[in-house]
Structure formats: structure tokens, C-alpha cells
Structure 1
Amino acid sequence: MKLYPSLQTLVQELENDFHLITEERKTALKLFAEEIRTGIQQFEKAKVIVICTHNSRRSHLGQIWLRLAAEKYSLPIETFSGGTEATAFHPNMISALQAAGFNVKEISLGENPHYHVKISAEDENNEQLFSKVYSAKYNPQENFIAVMVCTEADGGCPFVAGSTARISLPYQDPKYADGTSAEKEAYLKTVNEIGREMLFAVSQLK
């Protein structure tokens, strides 16, 4: 799949920056990669739910980047996201995704809008991205890998029912910069950080 040009440029930059990932972090990402490998071997397709507290920023990013990495490396990985509570996909993260080169289209209105996120002109994936709890029926109920991307959800969910593995990969929440002059920079930094690490994890399977 040929990515949108600006997105392709970003992916190449992030892959060139794998050396910025600490060795401690690489160990966790390689463990995640091995769980994906196990899922593919056992079920022919690995299912991953990326989890944070509100399913509004980091968990959606993890889901989106993991799907892109799976497409790039031609691996059978199905991606989902959820929270310990439902809110809405935050507009600041939508703006950051668009700035990074993703095509984001709002497909329903309301307090918790639904979106399609495309990575190329040929992208036929119509998965709806919106805020939900990780155990919602929209997500798999068993045989999935749970990836905890915030410390609050990580600490609050020591056990995720139905999961075959639970991986801790916390990231700083960019909401600390909401309403400040650092807002755009903070969100793009998070986009790049999560993108770099999801690409690195999946690249370990090739």
C-alpha cells in the first residue's frame, strides 16, 4: 500500500530514528513483538487492544500506528482501542494526526463522534474510531493482547479479562499542554513517539 506522501516521509523519518528508543524501552517493545508473533502462530491473526484511561488520545494513536505498521510489513494484525471509561476522540489529537499526514474523516456527530482514518488513497479499511471502554462489544472479548499506554490504566487494570498477554507501554499524556502555546508541539511529539515505537515493534517480526 502506497502511503500518502507526507505520511510516507514521516514513516521513513521515524524508522531512521529507531536509535532514539532506549534499550529498556526496546526490551518492552520486543516482548510485545513476541506476543504478536505468538498470536499469529496460534490464531493466524494477532488481535491487539490498545488501552488508556479515556480512549481519547494515546490509545487511538497506538491503534492507528499499529495498523499502519501491520500494513507496511504485511502482517496479519487486527487493531483496536479502548479505555477504562469512554469520553471522545480528542480534537487536538485529530488535528495532530492530520498534520502528520493521516486522512481523518468525521462520519458521525454528537458528544462522541466516529471517524475513519485513512493511511493512503487505496486504504479500504472502514474501522470506526471513537471512544469506548476496552470491554465494549465492538472490541474482541478473548484471545487479544492488551497494551496499556497510560500509567493510570496500567495501575488500575492489573488483569484484563480475555487477554492472552498484557504489555505495559506508558506514554506521557499530551493533554498537559492543552490551551497553551506548546499544545501543537506536545501532540506532534506524542504522534511521533508512539509511531516510532509501534513501527519498531512490528519491524522485529520481519
Structure 2
Amino acid sequence: MYRELLNTVQSLQWENIGPHRKEILEPLISFIQQKVNEGKEINLNFICTHNSRRSHLAQVWAQAASAFFTIPQVHCYSGGTETTALFPKIAETLSEQGFTVFSIAETENPVYAIKYNENSLPVIGFSKKYNSPFNPVSGFAAIMTCSQADGGCPFIPGAEKRIPITFEDPKISDNTPEQRAVYAERSLQIAEEMFYVFSKIKK
């Protein structure tokens, strides 16, 4: 893991997450643990309305957490109920927190490669619908990261389990002096919760 990213991880206090949030995270822990026990691949699809902010943060931090705790066969994806674009502040925030982020394609829906160490496969970040061919079609957990997607998508085809783990949208800070701090805070909250989840997995 990159040194700067490791410094960020070491600043996280995932055991101090409140009991209410731990209860919300328990179904995801159970899903992952079951797959580990069965020796099966663990496919996680993080879903938000626009696949532009929270779902990407959750996807990237979950992939990094699985590597940190050496949980094998974890594949993290993200999608939305509609396609927009990965919001540039997300890429910037992840970069500031220690990931290596570089652009693969600069279009209206840009594509980023996001790496947590020099030899890892990058997470490919771009906005797509949850049922994009890029994502798994069956046997995955659909993790709903925003209440709009959770309410607007009562059925996710192919999902083995549907798990609501919602976060406040950092978009509320756009075009304000607090934007950088709010995005950093939301990213670290998601990081803490994903690291908490993978810290509970018994290999």
C-alpha cells in the first residue's frame, strides 16, 4: 500500500464506529464471511443514483480494505440508477488521501484508474448503470449507498443480497468554501466503515 495511503488508513478509528452504524454494516459482514467460508468469489456492487460520488468512494475503499486485510477474491464494482460522470472532486479527494489516480479517457463520462499500491490492479472508475456489462450479473451483493437509489430501485436483477448502507451526499457542499473538507470527511467515514467490515472477516 502506498505510504501516504497507509498513513491515512492508520489514522482511521474503525472500532469507534457507533453501535447503530455497526448494526447497519452487519449484513455486509455476514455476506462476505459466508463467501469466505465457502471459498467463493466476493462480488460487491455499490449502487447510488448517479454513480458519481458515494458509490465510487465505497467501491474504492472496500477494495483497498480487502487488500489491507488480505481477504482473497474480493471484486468491488459500482453503478447507478442512471449514468452521469464520476465527479472530479472524488478523484481529487482520493488522490489527496493517498491513492494514485490517473485519467484513462477524458470524455463527458471520464474514466479513471485508481490504485492503492504499485502492483495492484487499478479500480476502474467511471459512471455506469448498476446493470452495465462492466458489472457482475449474478451472485453479488447490491449495497445501496444512497436512500434515493434504495427507494427507487426496489429490485436489483441478479443480486444475491441487497444491503442498504446509506451515506449523506457530499454534494451538499458543492460551490461552498467547505467543499474540500466535506468531501474528505465523507471519504474517511466510508473508509472507516469499509475497514471495519473487512476487519471482522475471519479467514
Task: Give the aligned partner of residue 101 of structure 1.
Answer: 98
Match of 2:196 in 1: 200
Deviation string, structure 1 residues 39-75 (Cα, Å, up to 9, x no partner):
3344611100000000001000111001001111111
**Any gaps of 5 or more consecutive residues in structure 1?**
none
Unaligned runs of 5+ in 2: none
Does the CA-based 8 Å contact 2:43-2:140 persist in structure 1? yes
The answer to whether the 8 Å contact 2:43/2:75 transfers is: yes
Does structure 1 residue 85 correspond to structure 2 residue 62?
A: no
Identify the range of structure 1 (179-188 vs 25-34) with the bigger mean alpha-carbon deviation.
Answer: 25-34
**Aligned Cα RMSD in Å?**
1.2
Q: Does 1:181 align with 2:184?
A: no
- Whether 1:166 and 2:198 are equivalent positions in the alignment is no
Q: How many residues in Structure 1 have an aligned counterpart in Structure 2?
A: 201
CA–CA distance in structure 1, aligned partners of residues 95 and 158 of structure 2: 33
C-alpha distance in 2, partners of 1:126/1:167? Answer: 25
Distance 1:158 1:42 in 2: 28
Of residues 52, 55, 75, the one that matches 1:56 is 52
| Equivalent position amino acid for 1:61 in 2 | L
Q: Deviations over 1:153-183 (max 9, x none)?
A: 0111122111111111100000110110000
Q: Which amino acid aligns with 1:12?
A: Q
Q: Distance in 1 between matches of 2:190 and 2:116?
A: 16
> Aligned residue for 2:136?
140
> What is the correspondence of 1:9-88 to structure 2 with a 5 Å cutoff?
9-14=7-12, 17-42=13-38, 44-75=40-71, 76-88=73-85
Whether the 8 Å CA contact 1:37–1:46 is kept in 2: the answer is: no
- 2:186 matched residue in structure 1: 190
Question: Contact 1:105–1:117 at 8 Å: present in 2 too?
Answer: yes
Pair 64,114 (structure 1): closer, same or farther in 2 beyond 3 Å: same
Counterpart contact for 1:30–1:204, Cα < 8 Å:
no
Amino acid at match of 1:162: G
Q: Percent identity among equivalent residues?
A: 36
